[in-house]
Structure 1
Amino acid sequence: MANRFALGVFFVALYVVVSAAGEVYAASYFQQADVFVALLLSFAVVCLMFNLLARHEGAGATVAKWSLLVFVALNVVTAISWIGLFVGLKYAEPAIVVAFMVALGPTATVWLNALIRRQGAPPASDIVVSVTIATIGTYMIWISASGNAGVEWGARSSFGIVLAIVAGLSLALTNILVKLLFDRGFSGRQVLAHRFYGTILLLLGLVDHSSILPEISQHWFAIAAIGLSTILIPLLLIQQGIRHVEPFTVNMVLSTAPIITFLFQYFDSRIVPSSHTFIGNVLITAVAVGNIYLQYRRSA
């Protein structure tokens, strides 16, 4: 049991490192490029690839009627979380966007997990930790609004923060729905194969279709790098993590993402290092790591 727990934490931690690097790169790229074109191409390729893999392993593309509602819900929250994340990265500091997402995740997961998966009342320690991290998240709001973030507060910065909050709530629900499908016997490839239809449909409505070919011809390498580092590889890693540990543990490991993202920001000359952002990220990470250790002891 302890080995399974450690393996799950390792996969999610690896997800945090890879996606943090990709998100900082994407935030810089989106300042002068079309975010929706890059996302549409990336998700279309990912969806096609995992449909082929699911068919190859004999899983097919059929979904039982009793699980159809779960897949529909998963498509909706996946679209909201991913598009909210990437548009938020365009208008706000990446470390703060990620901090909002993970600050809300544990709080939402505690109650959504009990409600959806019928796990019963959460332990008191989980409630205390989730509320603590959410409180630190309010400090991050002050950092952004007071002009103490690494990126200057602009006309659309508040829009970016709101999207990050919505994306954080959606991400928490996404992890629970994926775990629910695993509980019902679906493979990781099946879940990934059917997860992005809603995202692709939404992006088709948002994208300027006349800009697709010019964007590909000018920025094909950047689009491929963003797709691999922020979508494809992280998805494979986090699905393995969700398979081995509970959603709350996943969110606790994800709570270390802000400090990792903050460190990668040193490679982006557009962002000025902010001590206020650093303090907020360290506080969230410290609480998260402490809780991960307690859960590891509990599992052992």
Structure 2
Amino acid sequence: MALYVVVSAAGDVYAASYLQQADVFVALLLSFAVVCLTFNLLARHDRGEARVGKWSLLVFVALNVVTAISWIGLFVGLKYVEPAIVVAFIGALGPTATVWLNALIRRQGAPPASDIVVSVTIATIGSYMIWISASGNAGVAWGARSSFGIVLAIVAGLSLSLTNILVKLLFDRGFSGRQVLAHRFYGTILLLLGLVDHSSIVPEISRHWFAIAAICLSTMIVPLLLIQQGIRLVEPFTVNMVLSTAPIITFLFQYFDSRIVPSSHTLVGNLLITVVALVNICLQYRRSA
């Protein structure tokens, strides 16, 4: 999970820079087409694949819907908002939503009081990050579509928490990580096909094929393989707690992007989220031990 955070943070900053001059929907369509093809080829080598029943099919459909919402929300947010703040929204809202969704969907009963306290704390810090961006104290200037980017980043964070739980449900039914990855992006591709200007697909490939390939590897293929393994090994809430350390790592990678001005306000918010996340991981380790 730690390696996932580092790789995805670097990829998010690079993607945010690239998307400033690119057609975001065309770039995403091409990227997810490559990702879907790659994971389908990898899944062909799996043996003893789990059988898809009616219940599993419904979970896959739901997973395709929330995957489309979370990934498109993430990348559109990166285009209009400081990357470290976008990642902070996802890290702040994911644990809060996961506590209650996990209790409801997986029927594990009421969450521990410590999890609830940590979730409320992180959500509060997330509200502070919203103020940072809206008040003009972020590393990227507030623009005409910044509020739109913030809303999509928040939606992406909520969708991501549900995504982790649905993936865990499929793992519990015997599906492999490669199987899940192979069949979770059809909805994203269909949605993007309806959003893109089809006449711009070929020019986008000819001008930015290297950037698209880099985004595929650094923000999708490699991180997804890493996080799928993490989801398999630990509970969804713990996954989101580790992901909560991503904002500070993303903030450090922003020093490589001259477009972003270092913001002490963003740094403070990222540090607060990281500290709370690490404390909670220690508490969970002691409780499980």
Superposed CA deviations along residues 96-129 of structure 1, whole A, max 9, x for unmatched, are 1111111000110000000001111100000000
Q: Please name the residue that 1:16 is paired with.
A: 5
Alignment partner of 1:217 out of 190, 206, 213: 206
1:299 Cα deviation from its structure 2 partner: 2.3
- Give the whole-Å Cα distance in 1 for the aligned partners of 2:126 and 2:142: 17
Q: Please name the residue that 2:131 is paired with.
A: 142
- Give the whole-Å Cα distance in 2 for the aligned partners of 1:211 and 1:89: 21
Superposed CA deviations along residues 136-155 of structure 1, whole A, max 9, x for unmatched, are 11111111111100000011
- Give the whole-Å Cα distance in 1 for the aligned partners of 2:50 and 2:148: 37
Q: Please name the residue that 1:296 is paired with.
A: 285
One-letter amino acid of the structure 2 residue matched with residue 223 of structure 1: I
Alignment of 1:172-191 (within 5 A): 172-191=161-180
Superposed CA deviations along residues 180-236 of structure 1, whole A, max 9, x for unmatched, are 110111110110111000000011111111111111111111100001000000000
Alignment of 1:60-139 (within 5 A): 63-139=52-128
1:60 Cα deviation from its structure 2 partner: 5.9
User: Helix, strand or coil: the match of 1:56?
Assistant: coil
- Give the whole-Å Cα distance in 2 for the aligned partners of 1:97 and 1:153: 13
1:252 aligns with 2:241: yes
Alignment of 1:137-286 (within 5 A): 137-286=126-275
Structure 2 contact 67–184 (Cα < 8 Å) conserved: yes
- Give the whole-Å Cα distance in 2 for the aligned partners of 1:179 and 1:156: 35
User: Helix, strand or coil: the match of 1:84?
Assistant: helix
Identity across aligned pairs (percent)? 90
1:44 Cα deviation from its structure 2 partner: 1.1
Q: Please name the residue that 1:5 is paired with.
A: none
Q: What is the RMSD computed on CA atoms of the aligned residues?
A: 1.1
Structure 1 contact 54–61 (Cα < 8 Å) conserved: no
TM-score, normalization: structure 1? 0.94
Q: Please name the residue that 2:39 is paired with.
A: 50
Superposed CA deviations along residues 44-88 of structure 1, whole A, max 9, x for unmatched, are 122122222222324569622221110000000000000000000
Superposed CA deviations along residues 235-267 of structure 1, whole A, max 9, x for unmatched, are 000000000000000000000011111000000
Q: Which runs of 5+ in 1 are unaligned?
A: 1-11
Structure 2 contact 94–158 (Cα < 8 Å) conserved: yes
Q: Please name the residue that 1:34 is paired with.
A: 23
One-letter amino acid of the structure 1 residue matched with residue 142 of structure 2: W
- Give the whole-Å Cα distance in 2 for the aligned partners of 1:237 and 1:153: 33
TM-score, normalization: structure 2? 0.98
Greater displacement, 62-71 / 122-131: 62-71
